[in-house]
Every structure is written in C-alpha cells, then in structure tokens.
Amino acid sequence: MSESTEVIREILNTIHADPEHRTPALLLLEQGESRYLRDLKLNFSSILNSEYLSQKEIGLLALSIAVNERNDLMISFFKKFAAEHESSQEEIAEAAACASLLASNNVFYRFRHFTQKEKYSQIPARIRMQIMMKPVTGKEFFELMSLAISAVNGCEMCVNAHEDSLIKMGATEERIFDAVRIASLITSTGKIIF
C-alpha cells in the first residue's frame, strides 16, 4: 500500500467514513502520490482542538460550515462530534439553520455592498431573521458562526458587521481568528473529501 493510500485511509477513518471512499479529487491526489495529503491530514486534525473554542463549539461551528458547503460526509461527522460533546438537538439544528440564513444574508448584503447604491440600502430586506434574536446557542456564539460562514461565503459587509458585534460582546480577536481558521480548513478539506 502506498503512503498516499495509507494517509487517505487515516483521514477517512478519522471522519468515520469508508476507508475505500474516493472522490475524483482524492483519486487525483492518491494517484499523484501528492505530499499535500499529509498537510490535509494535519490541517484536518488541527480543527478538532482549539485554545479559544470548546469541543462543543468546534463541533457546532464545523457543522454549520459543513452544511454551508453541502458536504454530507462532514455533516455526518460533525453532527456526531457535536452530539458527543454535549450539543443538544436544538443546538445542532440551529447550526444548520445558521448556515441557511447566512446563505441568504450573504447574497443579499454582498449585492448591496457591490452595487454601492443608496437606493438598495433604503429598500427593506424582507428576510426573516427571528433565529438571530434568541439563539439557543447564545448570541455571541451565533454571531461567531455567522462570521465564519460569512467569511467562507465572501461577504465583506457581513464579516465586518459580525466581527464588530463580536468585539462589542467581548469576544477576543484570537477566538474570532480561530473560528475563521477552522472554517477555512473545513472548506479546504471539503474540496477533496465529500
């Protein structure tokens, strides 16, 4: 067995997937004996630990990104990971809901930002966002998930607004940075394993 195949099996075992599972992208890396597979493995394992986020928060944040990226393997893994670290079914559902809500917000506010027309800022959004008012995960953590999803989706206006809210709530820059780091690694892993 090649080193690449061995590393792929280790990654897939970590996420409780069939060790023989291959995506077209994973096959390219395996057939090319890519050194990147070692980076992918180490990057993914670094998601599971943080000085600034609890294991429960990591699970919920990662789940929200996996839902945003429509990655079934990651959704399954992080749903289980979140549940194993004391996340309730309501909190797990809210992580998925956050991804859905932010998908609409990111498109809408990115449009407003890109066009830079005052008129569009005056027209009501008419997007229902009640979940943001009393999130079961708490206001600060819901903002953190919202920021991470907005960073993945590339909404500058949303990133700035959520980051500002988090700082005002007392979140540290290190906590914010780590949430975005985790979101970036879930996204990059999801390009290869889905």
Residues 97 and 19 in one domain: no
Residues 56 and 81 in one domain: yes
Residues 112 and 109: their CA atoms lie apart, in Å, by 5
CATH of the domain at 76: 1.20.1290.10
Residues 15 and 62 in one domain: no
Domain that holds residue 185: 52-192
Known catalytic residue at 155? yes
Residue 74 has pLDDT above 90, yes or no: yes
Residues 56 and 39 in one domain: no
Q: What is the mean pLDDT of residues 4-9?
A: 97
Residue 65 has pLDDT above 90, yes or no: yes
Residues 78 and 1 in one domain: no
Average pLDDT of the chain?
Answer: 96
pLDDT for position 1: 85
Residues 13 and 81 in one domain: no
CB of 61 within 8 A of CB of 183? yes
Residues 186 and 125 in one domain: yes
Residues 60 and 81: their CA atoms lie apart, in Å, by 8
Helices (H) and strands (E) in the chain, counts: 10, 0
Residues 75 and 108 in one domain: yes
CB of 4 within 8 A of CB of 30? yes
Residues 39 and 110 in one domain: no
Predicted confidence (pLDDT) per residue in 78-110, tens digit: 999 999 999 999 999 999 999 999 999 999 999
Cα–Cα distances in angstroms (integers) from residue 144 to residues 24, 46, 114, 166, 178, in the given order = 33, 19, 24, 7, 10
18-22, 36-40, 129-133, 155-159: least confidently modelled range: 129-133
Q: Which of 12, 27, 47 is the last residue of a domain?
A: 47
Element of type H or E holding 146: helix 139-153
pLDDT for position 136: 97
**Does the global pTM surpass 0.85?**
yes
Residue 144 has pLDDT above 90, yes or no: yes
pLDDT for position 130: 87
Active-site position among 158, 166, 185, 186: 158
pLDDT for position 118: 94
Q: What is the count of structural domains for the chain?
A: 2
Burial grade of 132 (CB within 10 A; 0-12, 13-18, 19 or more): middle
Residues 77 and 167 in one domain: yes
Residues 35 and 83 in one domain: no
Residues 76 and 134 in one domain: yes
Predicted confidence (pLDDT) per residue in 24-58, tens digit: 999 999 999 999 999 999 999 999 999 999 999 99
The dihedrals phi and psi of 85, each to the nearest 5 degrees, come to -110, 35
Active-site position among 155, 176, 179, 192: 155
Residue 112 has pLDDT above 90, yes or no: yes
Q: What is the mean pLDDT of residues 127-134?
A: 89
